Structures are given as C-alpha cells and as structure tokens.
Amino acid sequence: MTKSSQLAPVTVHIDVPLRFFLASPLHRIPATLPLRSRRSIKDFIESLGIPHVEIGELRADSRRVGFDYLLRGGERIEVRAPELPIDLARPGYLQPLPLSEPRFLCDVHLGKLTHALRLLGFDTAYRNHMDDRALADTAVHEQRVLLTRDRFLLRRSSLIHGYCVRHTDPDKQIREIVHRYGLARLARPFSRCLVCNGLLHSVDRQAILEHLPPKTAMYFDEFYQCQSCRKIYWPGSHYEKLDASVQDWLGKSKP
C-alpha cells in the first residue's frame, strides 16, 4: 500500500490578485508543495488560505477542473482569479448560481460600504448580530454576494458568491466593488433607503406634510418615501455632496 507521504509534490501557480491570501513563504510562485494525502483541489487550495469563492478558474496539468477534482500528486495546478468585471447574471463554471441582479450582504465591519452601495441603489443587507454560519446561510438563501474582510468567513463550504474586500478605506472599498462587479452601468442612485434598504417612491408633499420640518415643507417640493420604514427623503443640503460622491464612484465625475 502506498504511503500518503510518497505522493509526488504539486507545483502551484497562483494569479497575482489571489496571492493576497498567501503566507509570505508562498510568494515565490510557482511553488512546489507537498501533497500529504489525496484530497480535492478545493481543499488543497483553501488550505493555502485562498477562499474558494474568490477563484475564477482551476487547472490541473492545463486542463480545466472543478472543485471536486481529486489530486493524485505531481500535477501542475493553476489557480486563476476571475476576469473583471464579474457579471453576476452569467453563471461561472465554479459559481453556477446566477443572480438576477447584483445583491449584497455586508458583515458587521462594512457599515459604510453598505451605506454607499445603497446610495448607488443596490440591494444590500447588513447584519451586525449574526455568527459566521448564519451569515453564510443568509447569503446563500437570499442569493447575495457576501462581502467581508474576514477571509475565514469566506471558506464556509455552502457559500457560492463572496469577496474579501481588500481596502480598509470606505471610499476605496466602494470603488473596489463597483470595479469588480461592473456596477457603474447598473447603478440607480438615490432609489433606496440608506437606513433599511427599502425602495424609495416619489410622494406628494401634501401626503407627508405633517412629518416635515416647517422650513423643509416651505422650500422643497420633491420628496421620496421609503416603502419599508417610511423615512422621508428630499434633495436637501447634503444632496450635492452625496451626488458628487456618487458620480465619482461611478467614474462619471466632471473634470
């Protein structure tokens, strides 16, 4: 019987965007790594720190393979990042569930990114009280892309769509997500409630007059109301600043 330690090592080439996850000794690419037992390519790559949801394509000896490909030793493995922008409506062969529209779920540390995505009109849930398992289950059940800075959270096997946000600065985070998922052409700014993620509908001033500060009622005549939490919005003093941010994030700012 062959001892597991006698399996031939594998040679691994990892695309630059995915080297972010690697421990420093692995930065010499391609790396030759021992294979201690026969295992799936998914298990092996995740043991290096790369979450399966970030992988665009896997190859073994130049042949495209799925997550369940069983390594036998001696292969040359290529781990490729997805081509950007990712079209979530088109199923990838490793992420077979297409999303009818880009929908997101942000973990507790991404409150400002949540706010920015809602400002652009994207359906973005935010949870600050869920454990990792519940977050992953919710993302799958509600067909959302799980956004987090916790790389271990993305290794939960049930997850299909997820991404480890690289930047820590919120302004760079929203640009990162817009770029990754090609959101500029899909954005519908100012169409969603920043507080609860509900949709905004135009509402007549008379219908909400009693809920408005007196000066607001006097100076504004364009109002929107959240269909879920009933919060009222109008293009007040913050609007121009927010709109400048929106245009900037979408790459449409004036020179």
Contacting positions for Zn ion (CB under 5 A):
193, 195-196, 198, 226, 228-229, 231
Q: Cβ of residue 211: shortest distance to Zn ion, in angstroms?
A: 14
Q: Helix, strand, or coil here: 39?
A: coil
Q: How far is the CB of 14 from Zn ion (least distance, A)?
A: 42
Measured from the CB atom, the residue of 56 and 198 that comes closer to Zn ion is 198
| Cβ proximity to Zn ion, 80 vs 231, nearer residue | 231
3-state SS class at 201:
strand
Could you give the 3-state DSSP secondary structure of residue 70?
strand
Nearer to Zn ion, 82 or 198 (CB): 198
Beta pairing, strands 57-60 & 31-33: unpaired
Q: Are 159 and 136 in contact (CB under 8 A)?
A: yes
Nearest approach, Cβ of residue 139 and Zn ion (Å): 21
Nearest approach in angstroms of CB 199 to Zn ion is 9
- Between 133 and 201, name the residue whose CB sits nearer to Zn ion: 201
Cβ 140 to Zn ion, closest distance in Å? 25
Question: Cβ(105)–Cβ(127) under 8 Å?
Answer: yes
Give the Å distances, CA to CA, from 89 to 81, 95, 189, 248. 18, 11, 20, 25
Residue 209: Cβ within 10 Å count: 12
* Residue with Cβ nearer Zn ion (173 or 225): 225
| Cα R_g (the chain), whole angstroms | 23
